[in-house]
Chain A
């Protein structure tokens, strides 16, 4: 029984790459607790704004326009665009989420019941690419050559409503499937730790009163019905500390 090393690695923690296992056991642990800082799960690498990693400039503009209508700005809290949701999605699509590296992607692919879960052979990266191209085509046909980002807010909301409810036809892509994925990823970007590029300046957390990665509330657990007094903190600290 021998299978490709690449295939084995695809299914397990990336850290094993560094271990260079040649013994009878992939890794033998005996005598002592093995101790290497951050050995098993290294800390996430900070995603900073800048050029798109996955999106083309046109795709990036469309996604920024989409997330800014899904979570629109208001006087107290920025919208999805300024919160970094599009940057978040871009970085996620460029990584293991985007390529479905951890998922079971063996054929045959067949449509099942909703209870059986997603069965698409397409990865999220492929679905975004196809759906955004189809959305662009749809908008240019329906709105005299305009891209989604060039529409008025009312027109954008109308298109998004059609994506959500399904009457829109996106060539080669499921409109509702794309809407659901986009909405889920936008919310993730709004509320995930800022280290991933969204929730910039912890605006999502400030909006609802979530203190983030504080990790110790022993002094407040019995202060019933009293607002927690400290501002949020991320796993890279707070912006004024020079972190994310």
Chain B
């Protein structure tokens, strides 16, 4: 039996980056906010102590910080002709769990998207003509522009204390920064991190070829920083336990290190952890959310009424809850109609592994977002006309870790075991460097999310089903930019070099990134988007949905800065517009 609790102003589903950002803004505006989080409470001192946080087996190999597939998972198939099967363990991406969400275990690369990324279809159509795009490519404009979001990118970067070097301040190009970036209103809050050997070599080689390398913007801080909430972060120690790990040094930007110490002390905020929202409730009109029903750790069911519902879970679970709650029209790949589940996309990564005889990279001296990059082959920064594909990515020497269980490269042809393997690991560990690209993934008619007909979760709900494969456009893009990366690496004269462009089919068992995108996308037309430009549901105006769920397609960058800029943008729209006159902020 479900018991009804007293109503609150706002209920937030999921207390990761975007849930914490919205909770901070709305408690500041005076509203009572209840955040409901499926996983446990997590804090630096209690959960990531420097005495044992640096444990590759526990956190990376055994997935200790992540959602347990036993609690919730998805089914997967490459195409609609296959029968989807459950992801019984995690592989290509790592769904987060617990307070702080993905903000706990991200690498903290803090990129902005390019201005043209937000008007992708219009821009590409204008430059190359509509026929240049594959017929089944369903990319869209976002309904917001880079200029709309610039103040909110700035707000997130100054929350985090992001370390970097501006390339464009108010239209004036800056030496040492990314020459392709959109204009920013001011310099980064803190200077770039110190670069180790590998990134420095990459930068030298790129410079010798006429490129303009710049430091990757990092949420692992070069120096101590106090943000606009008065919360202080510490300098990064280059420990090499960043992605997949919580930071014990208070030096990686996360909800824990930037927002929660302030938020949790506000009398009008409350978090309920280890409570899983089973569904969003609607009234009889099905145009108004009345709150949520959740199940606590003892299996008891509670209804939490609220005036405003903010769906802030991880991208896939936002879509799952929308489908399960019957909000919006499910996407139908046959007709191309419907919006919930539409435009599921991902990220296309690749690498070039270089083996040297005379170099010692000390790969363990690293941070999640350290590195030197170039952006010449990202987005539409280069002419795609002769190339026959669209999209691109950044590339560079980024040094995230030297953890030995997974970071022991051996040249192709080395046996997998025995004396030759052992010798090769020993000889190559310190002197091998993997240079990377981080590429876009555009959306297609046949890549989508819906509910699985067979498999259920522990609450008896149908699992979310992922139907996804890479398309020729993305594989061509990956080959091209991997070749351009190899041109630079070759200048360093490695003993041998291996190019690893992304190849198909998409493999759900091989880790690539946790940048799953789309499924309830933002836009300006309710026929082709689930959310308006303020992340407000077209169908249920007192519901807002955050996260990469809203991305119509993914750009050639890590998504967190854009995810959080959108959350700040939505927060401002709620406080300054919606609360004054609750209802649709955009007329369909």
A interface residues (Cβ-Cβ under 8 A, vs B): 1-5, 7-13, 15-16, 21-22, 24-41, 43-44, 69-72, 74, 77, 96-97, 101-106, 108, 110, 112-119, 157, 160, 164, 183, 186-188, 191-193, 195-196, 204-205, 207-218, 220-222, 224-228, 235
Contacts and interface: CB of A to CB of B under 8 A. Distances in A.
Interface in B374-425: 402-405, 408, 416-419, 421-423, 425
B88 A118 contact: yes
Given A71-B422, A221-B194, A8 B299 contact: yes
B359 A208 contact: no
Interface residue SS majority, chain B: loop
Nearest to B67: A11
B421 to A, nearest CB: 8
B33 to A, nearest CB: 10
Nearest to B300: A2
Contact of B273 (A26, A38, A106, A225): A26
Interface residue SS majority, chain A: loop
B142 interface: no
A29 B403 CA distance: 35
Contacts of B426: 77, 207-208
Nearest to A106: B455
A26 B58 contact: no
Contacts of B261: 33
B238 A119 contact: no
B39 A13 contact: yes
A30 B70 contact: no
B508 A196 contact: no
A37 B1 CA distance: 36
Contact of B422 (A8, A43, A72, A222): A72
B417 A183 contact: yes
B365 A12 contact: no
Given A21-B274, A116-B77, A217-B238, A31 B360 contact: no
Interface in B46-94: 46-52, 54-58, 61-65, 68-73, 76-78, 82-89, 91
A205 B404 contact: yes
Contact of B196 (A191, A195, A213, A224): A224
A114 B298 CA distance: 37
A19 to B, nearest CB: 8
Nearest to B419: A72
B508 A1 contact: no
B275 interface: yes
A2 B301 contact: yes
Contacts of A224: 196-197, 200
Contacts of A33: 43, 260-261, 264
Interface in B244-285: 248-249, 260-261, 264-265, 267, 269-275, 278
B92 to A, nearest CB: 9
B238 A116 contact: no
Q: Lowest 4 CB-CB distances: which A-B pairs, in order?
A: A11-B71, A40-B47, A25-B272, A26-B297
**Which of B238, B273, B402 has the most C-beta atoms of chain A within 10 angstroms of its own C-beta?**
B273
Interface size class of B (residues with CB under 8 A): 35 or more
B302 interface: yes
**Which of B72, B98, B360 has the most C-beta atoms of chain A within 10 angstroms of its own C-beta?**
B360
B88 A192 contact: no
16 contacts: A1-B295, A3-B458, A12-B71, A16-B297, A24-B302, A26-B297, A30-B264, A40-B43, A70-B417, A102-B69, A103-B89, A104-B89, A117-B91, A119-B88, A191-B408, A210-B364
Nearest to B295: A1
B137 interface: no
A35 B56 contact: no
B405 A112 contact: no
B514 interface: no
Contact of A74 (B38, B70, B422, B429): B422
**Which of A44, A116, A204 has the most C-beta atoms of chain B within 10 angstroms of its own C-beta?**
A116
Nearest to B297: A26
A41 B64 contact: yes
Nearest to A209: B430
Contact of B237 (A29, A112, A160, A218): A218
A216 B583 CA distance: 52
Contacts of B302: 24
B86 A118 contact: no
A74 B424 CA distance: 13
Given A38-B49, A183-B417, A193-B56, 8 more contacts: A26-B272, A26-B296, A37-B45, A116-B85, A117-B76, A117-B88, A157-B418, A164-B416
Contact of A36 (B46, B49, B295): B46
B172 interface: no
Contacts of B507: 114-115
A102 B416 CA distance: 29
A210 B47 contact: no
B235 to A, nearest CB: 7
Interface in B1-26: 1-3, 5
**Which of A24, A40, A96, A101 has the most C-beta atoms of chain B within 10 angstroms of its own C-beta?**
A40
B41 interface: yes
A28 B272 CA distance: 5
A37 B44 CA distance: 10
A104 B54 contact: no
A11 B97 CA distance: 11
Contacts of B573: none
A34 B41 contact: yes
B362 A21 contact: no
A22 B76 CA distance: 37
A2 B299 contact: yes
Contacts of B365: 217, 220-221, 228
